[in-house]
Amino acid sequence: MAMDAETIKTLIQDAIPDAQVRIEDLRGDGDHYAAYITAESFKDKTRVQQHQMVYAALEGRMGNELHALAIQTSAPKE
C-alpha cells in the first residue's frame, strides 16, 4: 500500500517540529516522491545526519509503504 504525500509530510513535521516540508509526487503514481525539508534543527549537522533524521521520522516505512523518496535538506539561510 502506497503512502500519500500528506502522511509523509505529517510524519516528518511530527518528528522535526521546526521543519518546513514540501512533498512532490514525481510521477503522479503515489509511489515516487521528493521531499524538500528546511529546519533550524539541521544547522551544524552533516547532510548524512539530516537525512538520518528524516529517515527516522518515517518510522521504518521507507522501502515498505514508501517506495522511493528523494530527499533534499537544508538549514534556513541567515
Query: Mean pLDDT, consecutive 10-residue segments, the chain of 78 residues?
Result: 87 97 89 94 97 94 84 90
- Which pLDDT score is estimated for 48? 97
Dihedral sign, CA of 52, 56, 74, 35?
positive
Give the chain's radius of gyration (CA, Å): 12
Contact of 28 with 35, CB cutoff 8 Å: no
- Which pLDDT score is estimated for 61? 86
Dihedral sign, CA of 19, 22, 26, 32?
positive
Can you list the domains of the chain with their CATH numbers?
A: 5-74 (3.30.300.90)
